[in-house]
Structure 1
Amino acid sequence: MKMRFLAHFVALILFPCWFVSVRAEEIKSPQPCDFKALFNFGDSNSDTGCMASAFYPEILPYGETFFHEPVGRASDGRLIIDFIAQHLGFPFLSAYIDSIGTSYRHGANFAAGSSTIMRQNRTVFQGGTPFTFEIQVAQFNQFKNRTAKFFNQEKENSFTKDIPRPEDYAKAIYTFDIGQNDIAAVISQSGMEYSHAVISEIVDNFTSQVQYLHELGARTFWIHNTGPIGCLPVAMPVHNAKNQSLVAGYLDLNGCVNYQNDMAREFNKKLKNTVVKLRSHYPDASLIYVDMFSAKYELISNANKEGFVDPSKICCGYHENGHHVYCSNRAIINGKEIVPGSCDDPSKYISWDGVHYTEAANYWIANRIVNGSFSDPPLSIAQSCHA
C-alpha cells in the first residue's frame, strides 16, 4: 500500500502534465445532442402567434424592432424561445394554430398568452385564455397522432416535408415557460389563507402534464421556473398611486415588491423539488430545471451596468398615478386622450410594456441560460439530453 502511494506521488511530481491531461479527458463535457425538433409550452412570454391567430392580432409598435411588423409576440422583437430556437439551429417556431404559411418540420409552439397551469374554471383563476397547459398538452397529443398518420402511408407526400417524422418526437427537446399567470392570480387574492395550498396544487398540475408528455414519448425537458413577478414595472408603486405609505420591507433594493417575489420563490422551490422527484421516477428522461428568476433578477439588479435604463421604466404604454394604458391601446384620462407610443430606443429598456421584456432584455437573458449557467444540472441546452 505504501509503495503504491509512493509511486503515485513520484509520478505526480515527475509527470504532472500527463496527469492533468488525463483528468481533462475524464471530465470532458458531453457532446451536443442531435435534437430533431423543439416543442414549446407556455404563456405570453413564449407565445409566437397563438393568441394573435385565435383572437385579435396585435398592432404596431409590437414587433417593430426585429420583424418591423406585429408577428404575434408580446415584445418589440424576438422572445427568449426565438433565441433558444436559433441557438439550437432551428427556425422560429410556428404557433400550433397558425394556419398561414407555417412549417412544423422542426417542431411547434403551443404557448398562448395569459395561459395558466391550472384550469381557469375556479374563482381564483378568472379571465385569461382557454389554452391552459392541459389544453396545450392535449393539442400536442393531437398534433403527434395526426402527423403520424401521414407517415403510415406507403410513401411520403408533399405535406410531410413540413411536419416532424414519427421518430423525431423522442429525439426532440421540450421547453416550458408557464406559471407566471397562476402566481399573479394567487397574488391578486393575497388575503387567502390557503395560498400555500394553491401553489402546491399548481405544481401538482404541472407535474401531471409532464408525466403525460413522458407517456407520449418526450424524453428531454427544459423547464423554466417563473420570474420575479414583483419586479414587473406595473406592479411597482412608482407607477401606481403617488405618496402611498409603504411599510418597511415592502420593497427590495431594486424597488421590487417583496411579497410578490416571495410567492414566485415558493412556487419555484416546489417546482424544483418536483423536478428532482421526476428524475428518480424517469431514469430514461432528462429533466433540466432553469432558474429564470435568478437570471432575470440579475439583469434587473445590474441594469445600468449592462447598458439599460432604470428597470422600472417602461418603453411602450402610459402608467402614471395608477392609470394604466397598455401599449397600442388608447384611453381618456382626466378628459385627455392618451395614445401611448413606444420609446425612442427599446434596446435600452428591460421592460417593453410593463409586463413583458424587450428583445434586448430577452437576448441578454437567453445568452445567460443557454450555456447552463442557471441550470440544474449545469448543462447547456445543447447538451441537455445527457442529464
Structure 2
Amino acid sequence: MQMRMEALRVFAVGILVGWALGAVGKEVTGLPSCHFPAIFNFGDSNSDTGGMSAAFYPMVWPFGETFFHEAVGRASDGRLMVDFIAEHLKLPYLSAYLDSIGSSFRHGRNFGVNFRHGANFATGGATILRPNKTVFESGVSPFYLDIQIAHFDQFKARTTSLYNHAKSAFQRRKLPRPEDFSKALYVLDIGQNDISAGLSKKEEERQAYIPELVNKLSAAVQHLYEQGARAFWIHNTGPFGCMPVSILYAPNPQGTLDRCGCLKYSNGVAMEFNKQLKEAVVKLRADLPEAALTYVDIYAAKYALISDAKKQGFVEPPEKCCGKRVNGVDVQCGQKANVNGTEVYAASCENPSSYISWDGVHYTEAANHWFAKRIIMGLVSDNSIPIAQACHKAHHV
C-alpha cells in the first residue's frame, strides 16, 4: 500500500511539473525575494563541488566534460543541483571548504577560492553517522556530518576574525561578511550513503538505525540555528533502488522490482527515512520558532523523472553513461583495467544529456537540471515555497 501511494503521489508531482515549467524563477507565492547573500551546503557527493577531490583523490576526465570541460571535483559530467541553485539565486558556484586552490574552469565563474558568498562542506561518500570504515577501505568519507558542522564552526569563527581585523576592502573581498551568516541559505543534502549502509541491517536493527540518522540530522540543524542560521533547505534522500549500481548488481532482482524497474526493498528503506525526516522537520519548526525550514522531496523529483524517462527525452534506466562491465569486471568511469590481457578504458557515452545516470551512482548534468527546476520552484517542497523565498515561514504546512 505504501508503495502504491508513493507512485500516485509521484504521478501527481509529474502533472504539476508539466504546467509549472514556465514558472521557473517567478515569485509564485507572492512573497518578496530573500536575496540570500550566501549559501552554506552540507552533504555528500550529490552536492560536493570539490571537497573530496581536494582532500584525497582528484577527479579525472571525463568527469566535468559537458559544462566545465575539465574535472572540477564534481561527481557528474557537469553541474550539480547545488550549482543550479546558486545560479538561480544569482550567486557564484560554491568553493569547497577543503580546497585551498579552488576551481579554475573556463567559464568566468570561479578562479581560485572565494568564500564571500558561502562555502561547501559536502564531501563525496559522506554520511550522517560516523563511519565504521575509512575512505581507503570503502570510499566512505571521514568528513561525516558532525565533522562538516565542526568545519563550519571553525570557518565562521576564523573568517569573522579575519574580516574584523582586515585593514582594507581588498583584504575582505573573498571573506563572508559576518552579518551574512544569519541571512544565508543553509542547504542539507545527506543520508544516501547511510541508507545504502543500512540495507543489510535486519528489520529490528533498522527500527533503531533510521531514528538515529534523523535525530543526528536534527541535532545538526539545531546547532546551526544556535550559530545564527535561520533559513534551512533540507533535502530528503532519493530512490536508491533506482540507481543502476543497485539494480544491475542485485543478487536476485526478479520479483523484487516495481513497475519502473527499481528495487522495492531499497526504495522502501529510503521512504521510511524520508517519512521520519519530514516528521522531524515539522517538530523542528515548533522547537526553533525563528527558523524557516523547508523539507524538499528529492525522492519525488527523481522518481518522477525515472518513471517517465522516455517521454522526457532520456534513455530509460538502468543504463548509465560512463563506466562498463567487461567479462564480469567492473571498469569505473574514467578508469582503466586489464581484462583478460586487454586494457579497457571506461569512457563516457556519446550524448550524456540523454542519460539520467552518469556513472551508475550519480546523475548527469541534464538530470540534475531537470531536478533543480522542480525543487527551485517549490513543486516538491512541503510548504510549496520557491527557494528564492525560503527565508519566509509558511503558515500552510
Question: TM-score higher than 0.5 here?
Answer: yes
Query: Structure 1: which amino acid aligns with 2:92?
Result: P
Residue 196 of structure 1 corresponds to which residue in structure 2? 207
Partner of 2:11: none
Gaps of 5+ in 2: 1-27, 102-111
SS at 2:182's partner residue? coil
What residue in structure 2 maps to residue 380 of structure 1? 386
Displacement of 1:234 after TM fit? 1.1
2:207 pairs with 1:207: no
CA-to-aligned-CA distance 1:260-315 (integer Å, 9 cap, x gap): 00010011001000000000011101000000000000000110100001121110
Give 1:52's aligned residue: 53
* Partner residue in 2 for 1:9: none
Does 2:242 match 1:225?
Answer: no
Q: Percent identity?
A: 55
Give how far 1:98 is off.
1.2
| Equivalent residue, structure 2, for 1:145 | 157
2:114 is equivalent to residue 103 of structure 1? yes
Question: 1:332: how far off?
Answer: 2.9
Alpha-carbon shift at residue 55 of structure 1 (Å): 1.1
CA distance in 2, matches of 1:333, 1:139: 42
- Give the corresponding residue for 1:68: 69
- Whether the 8 Å contact between 2:44 and 2:122 is mirrored in structure 1 is yes
Distance 1:300 1:73 in 2: 22
Q: C-alpha distance in 1, partners of 2:175/2:201?
A: 45
Q: Secondary structure at the match of 2:279?
A: helix
1:25-81 deviation digits (Å, cap 9, x = unpaired): xx9621111211111000000000001111110111000000000000000000000
Pair 154,259 (structure 1): closer, same or farther in 2 beyond 3 Å: closer
Query: Could you say what the CA RMSD is over the residues aligned between the two structures, in angstroms?
Result: 1.9
Q: 1:131 aligns with which of 139, 143, 151?
A: 143
* Aligned counterpart, 1:8: none
Q: Does 1:176 align with 2:182?
A: no
Contact 1:75–1:359, Cα closer than 8 Å, also in 2: yes
Quick check: 97-106 or 213-222, which moved more? 97-106
Is 1:161 aligned to residue 167 of structure 2? Answer: no
SS of equivalent to 1:223 = strand
Asked whether the 8 Å contact 1:240–1:319 carries over to 2, the reply is no
Structure 1 pair 94/119, CA: closer, same or farther in 2 (3 Å)? Answer: same
Instruction: Please identify the structure whose Cα radius of gyration is greater.
Output: 1
Aligned partners of 1:66 and 1:77 also within 8 Å: yes
> Does 2:370 match 1:364?
yes
Q: Distance in 1 between matches of 2:376 and 2:321?
A: 26
Select 1:240's aligned residue among 246, 249, 260: 249
Q: Distance in 1 between matches of 2:78 and 2:336?
A: 22
Structure 1 window deviating more from structure 2 (296-305 vs 152-161): it is 152-161
Change (3 A) 1:28 1:87: closer
Match of 1:216 in 2: 227
Partners of 2:35 and 2:89 within 8 A in 1: no
Residue type at the aligned position of 1:62: F
Q: TM-score, normalised by structure 1?
A: 0.87
Separation (CA, whole Å) in 1 of partners of 2:68 and 2:371: 20
CA distance in 1 between partners of 2:358 and 2:249 (Å): 18
Contact 1:150 1:156 in 2 (8 A): no
On the 8 A contact 1:240/1:322 being kept in 2, the answer is: no
Contact conserved, 1:36 with 1:106, CA < 8 A, in 2?
yes
Distance in structure 1 (CA, Å) of the matches to 2:174 and 2:114? 5
Partner Cα distance (1:329, 1:235) in 2: 20
Counterpart of 2:19?
none
Alignment partner of 1:306 is 2:307: no
How many Å separate the matches in 1 of 2:192 and 2:271?
11
The answer as to 2:300 corresponding to 1:294 is: yes
In structure 2, C-alpha distance between the alignment counterparts of 1:58 and 1:119, rounded to whole Å: 24
Displacement of 1:247 in angstroms is 5.2
Q: Is the 8 A contact 2:327 2:339 kept in 1?
A: no
1:309-367, CA deviations, whole angstroms, 9 ceiling, x for partnerless residues? Answer: 11211100013676422101222334443211100000000000000000000001100
Once the two structures are TM-superposed, the CA of residue 253 in structure 1 deviates from its matched residue by 1.0
2: CA distance between counterparts of 1:83 and 1:34? 16
Deviation at 1:370, TM superposition (A): 0.2
Q: 1:114 is matched with which residue: 113, 122, 125?
A: 125
- From 339, 354, 357, give the equivalent of 1:351: 357
Residues 120 and 127 in structure 1, CA contact (< 8 A), matched pair in contact too: no
Measured after TM superposition, the shift of residue 159 of structure 1 is: 2.5
2:292·2:392 contact (CA, 8 Å) conserved in 1? Answer: yes
Q: Any idea what SS the aligned residue of 1:72 has?
A: coil
TM-score by length of 2: 0.85
Q: Which amino acid is the alignment partner of residue 243 of structure 2?
A: L
The size of the alignment, in residue pairs, is 354
